[in-house]
Each structure stands twice: as structure tokens, then as C-alpha cells.
Amino acid sequence: MYDVVIIGSGVIGMSIARTLSDKDSLSIAVIDRDVPGLHASYKAGGMLGAQNEFVQDTALYQLALRSRDYFKSLSQDLYKETNINIDYQEHGLIKMAASEDDIECLKAQYHFLNQRDRSVTTLSENSLKDLCNDSIDFNHHAIYIPNDGQINASKYTKALLKSINNKGIDRLYHTEVKSLKRLKDCYKVQTSHSILLAKKVVVAGGAWSNDLLENYQIEPKVTGVKGEVLLLEHEHLNLKQTLFMTNGCYIVPKRGNRFLVGATSYVDDYSVGTSTEGEQWLFNKAAAYIPLLNSSNIIHKWSGIRPYTDHEWPIMDEIDNGLFLVTGHYRNGILLSPIIGKLMAEWIVNDQPPSLIKDFKAKRSVHL
């Protein structure tokens, strides 16, 4: 019998496992039906964006700010543990109004952010050109968030996977969980190949988390939102800042003069691969803001499924005695993974919910 079984090996599940693995007395298993870490986590843009989409001082906003502060030391720790550089960079984020209709909303967001962080500034056409080496075509209105950063999401997932293996979790199962049932003093986890018993279970299966918990009638519902991404290359484009538009298009500079462009959003779409329509939208939007990208090469394209709830409010809760649900982080999974790993591990070990995540409970009605 395991002390803890974690279902899902994205950055959330692996961050929890990594923190728990420091507890010598715990036996831990991680289960994933696919190659570990190769779903939404691996395919993400990697921007942190802790201030990017917030306009109110909520519990989620505070959690995002705290989690962003972990990344510099986390990148150093992961490199020591795994010899993998997750390419942590801190060059800031430029947010631009995609249309005149968005200007007032962006101004209101600037007012909210600037009151709490004076380093957040508005950008004139000249200051934008100076900041980004004249590479961006100034449109309507822009603000600069200098303390934002980014990582390489694929390297991050690989580093977390190698870290939990190095730290000695008891088992990493590559199999599908078919059912989850509460017994008298433990949980029975039925997989495609075997039955596992666990004192505590963490369901961190992203957009598929609710599939195992139908008897609990969890609200809000978690669904998948498909996002498509392009990776472009242009040897003469010198841009370091992440660019995010109010229409949802973003451009994240990567090493080697590569630029990750995302992301489309198709609600309740679990299909794999990119569409011609989605690729054209991404390329055209990116080139409209950065004209040099018109002559860039598309070197890779892919899609991922992000776990979404109404109002983009994640769930972190103990929905039954010893059964935890951690999902719904949508575009903030990478950003929130360090602090969620710490807080959920603390909850699992101490049997008490940390105050920082008390506002992320699910509504449920158990029918066993």
C-alpha cells in the first residue's frame, strides 16, 4: 500500500510529488496513461504572466505573485538536481490592446497593477521602440510589466520528471486509471494493468480529472480548452520581452532566435493537432504586431488541452477523506505549479488545508 498515489504527471502532479519525496517516510507513486509530462504542461508557452490577466486583488492573484517569486531559486535547484536548465528568463512582459475597444480595459488594468507595483508603466510609441529594439509595430495602447518572466515548459517538465526519479519516488506507472473507489481505510486505484491501494490519492489529471470523480458531482465542472501553438524562427529578430495582446495572442521569445506564438482557444475540444485556420490566425496576428515575422520559418506546431472552469477559478480541495482534487488552472498551470506543490504537500502531510488555498474549494454532493 502506498501512502500517496498521484494521478497525473503534469507540472502540478510532479510538483506535488517532488515536494512529498523530501519526506523520507512516505511511499509515493505517480500514474499517467501517457508518457509523463507530455500533455498541456509540456506544450505550454512557458510565460509566467503573474500580473498579466488580473484586474482584481483576489486569492488567485496573490497566489500567482507568490508562486512567481519561487522560479529563480527553483530553476537553480532543478539544475543542481538534474543538470537541466529550464531557461528561466526575466525580461518582462508587454501587454497591448488589440483594438480600440480594448484600450479602456487595459487602462483600468494598468491602474490596478500600478497601485500595487509602481514598476508597471505605460509605454509610449517611442519608449516601446526603445524597449524592444524597434521590432514591434505600435498599435493602440501598451503597458510594461518588468518583473514578469518565462521558462521553457518542455525542459521544466523534463526536469521535474528527472527530479522525482532522482529523489526516489517509489514508482512511476505508465498506465490508465480506470476507476477509483473508497474502501474502509484506503482507496482502490484500478488501472489497466493492476490494482493499487493508497492511503491518500491526489487527482491531478488536468482536463480529464472529473472522469474519475463522477460520483462526487464536482462543481464547477472542468472541461478541456484546446490551444494551438506555432514555433517560429527568424535570425534577425532581436526581441526579449514577452508580448501579450488582449485578443489572447502571445509571442514568447525563446533561445536561438525562436518565438513561440499562441494560442487559439476551442472550448470542449479534445482533438489532437493544429488546424489550418488556427495556424493562419496565429501567424497573421504575430506578423501584424512584429512585421519581421512575416519572413519567419515555422519550425514546429502543436496543440494542447488546458483544464478550464467557469471564471477560470482552479480547484484545490479535499473532496473526500484523503482524496484530493487539484485541477482547473487553465493558462496558469506552469506559473502556479511551484506553490501548489508546496501547499498541497503540506496539506497531505499535516491533514490541514493551508490558508492560502482555502478559497479554492469545490462544491460537491457525494453519491457512493
> In this predicted model, what pLDDT tens digit does every residue of 161-219 receive, in sequence order?
999 999 888 888 889 999 999 999 999 999 998 999 999 999 999 999 988 898 888 88
- Residue 137 pLDDT: 83
User: pTM value?
Assistant: 0.94
Residue 50: inside a domain: no
**Whether 202 and 256 share a structural domain:** no
pLDDT at 368 over 50: no
Q: Are residues 237 and 127 in the same domain?
A: yes
User: Are both 159 and 287 inside the same structural domain?
Assistant: no
Higher pLDDT, 368 or 78: 78
Question: 303 and 233: one domain?
Answer: yes
Are residues 227 and 303 both part of a single domain? yes
| Residue finishing a domain among 267, 285, 308 | 308
Domain boundary among 308, 327, 346: 308
Q: Which of 36-45, 121-130, 148-157, 343-352 has the lowest mean pLDDT?
A: 36-45
The CA distance from 178 to 368, in Å, is 17
Report if residue 58 sits inside a domain.
no
Residues 109 and 242 occupy one common structural domain = yes
Does 304 share its domain with 162? no
266-267 and 242-245 strand pairing: unpaired
88 in a structural domain = no
Q: Give the CATH number of the domain where residue 39 resides.
A: 3.50.50.60
Domain boundary, last residue among 291, 308, 325 = 308
CA 144 to chain centre: 22
CATH of residue 114: 3.30.9.10
Q: Which three cell numbers stand for residue 173?
A: 506507472
Domain-embedded: residue 349: yes
CA gyration radius for the chain?
Answer: 21
Boundaries of domain holding 334: 2-45+154-221+311-357
What is the band of 38 on the pLDDT scale with cuts at 50, 70, 90?
low
Q: Is residue 258 part of a domain?
A: yes
Category of 133 on φ-ψ map: left (φ > 0), alpha (ψ -120 to 50) or beta? left
Tell me how far apart the 2 most distant CA atoms of the chain are, in Å.
Answer: 67
Contact 209, 317 (CB under 8 A): no
- Per-residue burial over 258-283, b = 16 or more CB atoms within 10 Å of its CB, e = otherwise: bbbbbbbbbeeeeeeebeeebbebbb
Claim to verify: residue 304 and residue 315 sit in the same structural domain: no
188 and 204 in a single domain? The answer is: yes
Phi and psi at residue 182, in whole multiples of 5°?
A: -85, 130
Task: Return the half-sphere exposure (C-beta side, CA atoms, 13 A cut-off) of residue 220.
Answer: 17
187 and 285 co-located in one domain: no
Count of domains for the chain: 2
In this prediction, residue 300 carries a pLDDT of 94
Q: Residue 53 domain-assigned?
A: no
Tell me, what's the pLDDT at 60?
Answer: 96
User: Virtual CA dihedral for 331, 336, 341, 344, nearest 10 degrees?
Assistant: -90
**Residue 352 belongs to a domain:** yes
CA distance 249 to 48: 15
Same domain, 129 and 259: yes
pLDDT digits (tens, 9 = 90+) for 276-327: 999 999 999 999 999 999 999 999 999 999 999 988 999 999 999 999 999 9
Q: Is the dihedral of CA 8, 9, 12, 14 positive or negative?
A: positive
Residue 74 belongs to a domain? no
**354 prior amide bond cis, ω within 30:** no
Q: Would you state the pLDDT for residue 302?
A: 93
Give the pLDDT band of residue 22 (cuts 50, 70, 90). confident
Pair (353, 317) in one structural domain: yes
pLDDT at residue number 41 = 58
